[in-house]
Structure 1
Amino acid sequence: MFIILGGIGLAACDQIHVQFEVLKYFHPGLFGQAWWISPQFMIATFFMYLGAFVLKKERSDFDSKEFKFAILWFVSAYFASGIFADHPHLLAVIYLLTWFFRMVRSREGNSLIGFSVILALAGTGAEGLISNAGFFVYTKPDFLLVPIWLPGLYLHGAPLIWSLVFNSKH
């Protein structure tokens, strides 16, 4: 179920980038997005969850407060990437500093830090490849056909995925 919700939620967040003209799809459909966005985000959600599941050593009970907080951080970071897209280097620094602050305050330790960095590298690389393949384009890319702040957005997405890996045994 979380894979479907991830596809829908991430497609909704992607609308922020479409509406703020941070990116454009070459064959847009509904609301400027391509038809394949939600399925692609469902696949991404699955692989992100799988990575978190493999790397998360200690599983506790589901913490709805932590989950809601992670959603708020991630959606806020997405909005910031739309609002402040004209200031990519400043946004990248703010993402990095706020992520660092979150990690210092986190109880999760080095495993979450490692997962965050892996997700930032893999997600940014995947978006660069998809863009290079001609499916979409960022309107102001800085490197590898993506904005400099994109890894920071993935850094803030990592705690959200991480919070989904919990102990299901009671």
Structure 2
Amino acid sequence: MTTGSPTRPVASWRPAETDLPGRMLTLVYRVAMQTGRSQRTSTALCRRVLAAAPEVDRRCRNAAAERQVRARVLVALRADLAPRIERARLDAALHDAVLLDEVAQLPPRQRFALWSTAVDRLTTAELATRTGWTPPQIARLLRAALRTVTSGATLPE
């Protein structure tokens, strides 16, 4: 008879939208919904903004090129929504969408560590128990994730 060993919960990796068209569609829709647009209006806004940015469908070679495309989408989105929405509310929605887009682009382990601590509110010890990572590994993953997200999350004026 074997003795039962405590089983460690397996980390559930959250899938990320890594393709640029899907991420930009999510970004526009998220901003529209967060600023109080209806689903119908949000869908129409997605069509208008993404039609005005044909480079969304092109393949980008690196994250910097994707950020340039995102900046153009944000400019088009701001131009479309600015006349109808107060600036502070629009800026907050754009900022949230950009931060979430940056999180979606993180490598899976960094994204999981950041999401687990920031959203699921796990402590380092709880995350270490769930994943088998050491606390120093978790600290490195979190530092790298935060550095990437904060340096890449900029809004065009």
Q: Give me the TM-score of the superposition, normalised by structure 1.
A: 0.34
Q: Give me the TM-score of the superposition, normalised by structure 2.
A: 0.36
Higher relative contact order (CA 8 A, sep 6+): 1
Larger Cα-atom Rg: 2
